[in-house]
Structure formats: structure tokens, C-alpha cells
Amino acid sequence: MSSTFAPPEALTKVPFHYCPGCTHGIIHRLVGEAIDRLSIRERTIGVASVGCSVLAYNYFNVDMQQAAHGRAPAVATGIKRVLPDRVVFTYQGDGDLASIGLAELVHAAARGERITVIFVNNANYGMTGGQMAPTTLLGQITTTTPSGRAVKEAGYPLRVVEMLATLEGPVYLARVSVHDPANVIRARRAIIKAFEVQLQDLGFALVEVLSICPTNWGKKPVEALSWLKEHMLPVFPLGEFRAVS
């Protein structure tokens, strides 16, 4: 029996374009598995954002809309309000969600939109070649913080889940990571829950997934995984910040 390794039906057979070792692929798979597990593929509409995952519409085997940079939560709101019995999710990077699209995100969360947001935090702008993101760590070198992110010029990293946890609209908020198998299993559970609360019509759900960008971090994938563990976990603690009892 090797059914655990069969690709989820909710993913197409199109090969990913992601760099070798990039964890976007794992996160896609977890989302696909959650959709399969809940048997919602034929009533799910996904919203792809702008970033390395812009081509997500090629990979998720569901109806998809591609949104402008940062606007996925507004697009998802439009879909969900028209089709309240469908399942709507967005898949967004940290530049997309936490920088240009922060207003759309926060207001969708505050309204308690019944959508599921998958937020991939890789501490930089992957697609445009490794610039600073709002989630870039202090001291982290990026192409636009060549001597490391300094507080005086660039301020502090944004903790999105903690910020959203001050609102009443979200019903499920979690931060997970995919740097080792045990965490991948936890991430899978969190993503399933984030869809379940939508199926129960409870409110807004977001899962932040810490992810690596070996290409722009200038690290081999294995080194990148340990860098995530060592440097990102202290700034971005894992756990459920809001969950339904």
C-alpha cells in the first residue's frame, strides 16, 4: 500500500516550476491533500496571488482566479459573497499579503469573511529576486538591505498572526513550519482545520507557513531548512493563536 504517496487529486499533473528544494511545493501538496480529505475539490475556488506562487492556478486542480498583487483576500471576498456555499481559499506570499495587501487582509479578517488564507512566509520577496519583505528578520541580508535589515531604516518584522489575533473576525489562526517531517504533519493538520472552520461557516481562517527560499537566501536547501529553524522560529513562534473549541 503506497496510497500515502499518491498525488492528491486536487493537484494537477503539471510539474512545479519552483526552485529545487523550495518548500512552496510541500505547501501546495498539503493544501491539495486537505481539499481531497474534505472532498471539496469540485466546490472549491482558489485565488492565486502575485509572487513565486503566481502560477498556482496551474497546479491546483480546482477552479482558480489569479488576483492582482496583494488583492487576493478582496477577490476571495467577492467570490465567497456571491457563492456562500462554495469553499474559497487564497495562497499568498509575505510580500503579497503582509506588505502591499495588508489592508485587504486585515479587513477580510475583521469582517470574518468565510475564507481560508494560506500565507507562505519565506522572509523575503522570492519572485523579484530576494528583496526585503515585511517579514525579513533584523540583520537579514537581502538585495535591498545589503548590510542586513537595520531598525533605523527598515523597522521591525511584522508578525501577522499575532496581529490578526487581536481581532474578533478570525476563528482559526495558526503558524506552522515545514522544515522537518514532524512539522509538516502539524502543518497538514492546521491547514485541514483552516478549511473545516470555513465548511462550518464560522469565520475567517489563516495559516502562516514558514517556508524557505534557498535561491535568494543563497543557501543549499538543507542549510536553508536549518536557517529557518535557527533564525525564523525565535521571531515567528509556532502554534495555534486562535482555535475553535
Partner 1 sequence: MKVLMKGNEALAEAAVRAGCRCFFGYPITPQTELLEYLARRLPEVGGVFLQAESEVAAINMVYGAAGAGARVLTSSSGPGISLKQEGISYLAAAELPCVIVNIMRGGPGLGGIQPSQADYFQATRGGGHGDYRVIVLAPASVQEMADLAVLAFELADAYRNPVMILGDGILGQMMEPLELPPFKEDLPAREWATDGCRGRARRIINSLYLDAEELERHNLRLQEKYRRIAEREVRWEEYLTGDAQVLVVAFGTCARIARATVKAARSEGIRAGLFRPITLWPYPYRQLQAAAASARAVLVVEMNAGQMVEDVRLALEGRVPVHFYGRTGGMVPASGAVLQELRRIGGVGRVQHVRPA
Ligand X SMILES: Cc1ncc(C[n+]2csc(CCOP(=O)(O)OP(=O)(O)O)c2C)c(N)n1
Residue ranges binding ligand X (CB under 6 A): 50-53, 69, 93-96, 120, 122, 125-128, 133
Q: How far is the CB of 19 from ligand SF4 (least distance, A)?
A: 3
* Closest C-alpha among 94, 83, 107 to residue 27: 94
* Closest C-alpha among 158, 159, 160, 165 to residue 242: 165
Rounded to 5 degrees, φ, ψ at 120 are -100, 110
* From 146-154, 162-170, 202-210, 213-221, span contacting ligand SF4 (CB under 6 A): 213-221
Q: How far is CA 214 from CA 36, 171, 220, 232, in A?
A: 29, 33, 6, 14
* Closest C-alpha among 234, 75, 49, 236 to residue 159: 236
| Nearer to partner 1 among residue 98 and residue 209 (C-beta) | 98
Q: How far is the CB of 36 from ligand X (least distance, A)?
A: 24
Instruction: Select the residue interacting with partner 1 from 94, 96, 104, 208 (CB under 8 A).
Output: 104
Task: Say which amino acid occupies 66.
Answer: Q
The residue with its CB nearest to ligand X is 93
- Partner touching 45 among ligand SF4, partner 1, ligand X, none, CB below 5 to 8 Å by kind: partner 1
Q: Is 19 in the site for ligand SF4 (CB under 6 A)?
A: yes
Beta bridge partners of 75: none
Core vs surface per residue 151-175: b (16+ CB within 10 A) or e: eeebeebbbbbebbeebebbbbbbb
User: Do β-strands 239-242 and 170-177 pair in parallel, antiparallel, or remain unpaired?
Assistant: antiparallel
Write each residue from 53 to 92 as x if it is in contact with partner 1 (CB under 8 A), else as -, in one continuous string: -xx-x---xxxxxxxx--x--xxxxxxxxxx--x------
| Nearer to ligand SF4 among residue 162 and residue 223 (C-beta) | 223
Using CB atoms within 10 A of its CB, is residue 218 exposed (0-12), middle (13-18) or buried (19+)? exposed
Q: Is 142 in the site for ligand SF4 (CB under 6 A)?
A: no
- Give me the residues that bind partner 1 (CB under 8 A), please: 41-45, 47, 54-55, 57, 61-68, 71, 74-83, 86, 103-104, 107
Which residues are at the interface with ligand SF4 (CB under 6 A)?
18-19, 22, 24, 52, 122, 126-127, 213-216
